[in-house]
Structure 1
């Protein structure tokens, strides 16, 4: 028996197939079909995004009419006060909503991880209910609630557009942060916190020096995800906005009536890059915390 035949017999498994690199030479048609199908699915998902990025460099008057390649659309962002105000409102709203969601979601996630019981499953059910509730339902419910608080209850702060938008955007984000923090702490032993109590540390000191640092990667990831979600709040924003605080998604909807212009695609491209940077920072934070790729995916999914 030759050396090649011996090597092949070692690599061959009990079912007659080859293992390792030799198996790749004998891929079945089903493997090839699945790979082609996967590529087609990715193209289907990302083709609209690629199109909007390409057309952000259009020098034409309308978005759908390609006239040439240039950076005129990005320069227009600096020339139109309405576009600048809409982008500013969206960024400020996303930041405020991320702060609200991170504060509430962090406390909720720590409570669910460190004080288990039947109440946790009820609370997770409520969070899931918030996550799957259609935005139109939240929007219809928030509008009269803000009106009641701002006018009937005499709380003018709820008449402010930024406040309304921030609270509305934080509803779903709070649930996301809660999932992330709980997923981070559930897999970690509470011995360090018990040791802190044994050393006569106060509850607040233990929370600040032990619990919060353990949960910090998930807290930062939740903040960045909440920020990106706040940039994309369209339905709720369309209902609760007030004059002078129109966010970018609502501005785009109103611009559809007169025809989309290339600056719409330019701002969308910038926001897409901002979102990708935020997600990359989330992955980097979790990676530096020692998480594997599987752990990062599980944490970002709240599992």
Structure 2
């Protein structure tokens, strides 16, 4: 008997339908990438191929400043969310108490609450706290953006680390304690290496989530600290220029690199349990 698979019209239809679905999803992105090489003045018509939009974008101080604000905000958000989310995930798994169900509910609410609601809530809160909070020497607009973006990102990291900790054997930590290892030594030598894939992937995911946060950023940003999504939104009042598409393409490449690193780390989960990927999926349900 031949092992060759028989042709199925249903399978062929599903394959074609899947390809059309992917084309529908990624065609707008492909258009932006193509028009990023448009040598014309606007994105309405493609007048010729050239790299002038990239040169114009990199020489525009307003665009460079907005990109810098976005990258710095994303890095600060990743650091804050990773610190808070890692310890929250460990506490929820290893030392759950009466507070654990309430914290899980709050984290779930943070993830499913519409961003416009969070933005409207953050704006009067920042105004109530004051203008500079006494933080001399800091860019207060940058601090506001990091705090606002860290709310959702911290919940994402918490669920990823919690899923990883759930699939980890606690006997290893107990064995280290029987050998007179201090709690800090048990954490650095046993717990942290085992949860490192979840921590790193959570940090990278928090970084990418912060890059495209438009709604919250538009409410909490101040003059001089305008992130890239807010800059693009403001540019819609006039005609979009090719340099916007050029810099958006570079940001897309940066995001794909970060997501690729996160995917690679999740695939190399040392425990092989897939808990990191499961946590990533659970965390993105509310997105």
Q: TM-score, normalised by structure 1?
A: 0.87
Is 1:93 aligned with 2:83?
Answer: no
Describe how 1:204-283 pairs up with structure 2 within 5 A.
Answer: 204-283=184-263
Gaps spanning 5+ residues in structure 2: where?
Answer: none
Say if 2:40 and 2:46, in contact at 8 Å, map to a contact too.
yes
Output the CA distance in 2 between the equivalents of 1:206 and 1:136.
42
Say if 1:146 and 1:159, in contact at 8 Å, map to a contact too.
no
Partner SS, residue 225 of structure 2: coil
Output the CA distance in 2 between the equivalents of 1:185 and 1:46.
35
Output the CA distance in 1 between the equivalents of 2:10 and 2:273.
27
Say if 2:38 and 2:50, in contact at 8 Å, map to a contact too.
yes
Match of 1:115 in 2: 95
Match of 1:30 in 2: 10
Match of 1:145 among 125, 140, 156: 125
Relative distance call for 1:295 and 1:196 in structure 2 (3 A) is closer
Output the CA distance in 1 between the equivalents of 2:162 and 2:261.
20
Q: TM-score, normalised by structure 2?
A: 0.91
Larger of the two Rg values belongs to structure: 1
Output the CA distance in 1 between the equivalents of 2:271 and 2:16.
31
Output the CA distance in 2 between the equivalents of 1:112 and 1:93.
27
Describe how 1:74-93 pairs up with structure 2 within 5 A.
Answer: 74-93=54-73
Pairwise CA distance, 1:117:
6.0
**RCO higher in structure (CA 8 A, sep ≥6):** 2
Output the CA distance in 1 between the equivalents of 2:269 and 2:276.
10
Partner SS, residue 258 of structure 1: coil
Output the CA distance in 2 between the equivalents of 1:159 and 1:56.
32
Say if 1:131 and 1:175, in contact at 8 Å, map to a contact too.
yes
Pairwise CA distance, 1:287:
3.0
Superposed CA deviations along residues 226-259 of structure 1, whole A, max 9, x for unmatched, are 0011111111111111111111111101111111
Partner SS, residue 6 of structure 2: helix
Q: How many residues align?
A: 281
Say if 1:130 and 1:175, in contact at 8 Å, map to a contact too.
yes
Pairwise CA distance, 1:289:
3.5
Gaps spanning 5+ residues in structure 1: where?
Answer: 1-6, 9-20
CA RMSD, Structure 1 to Structure 2 (Å): 2.0
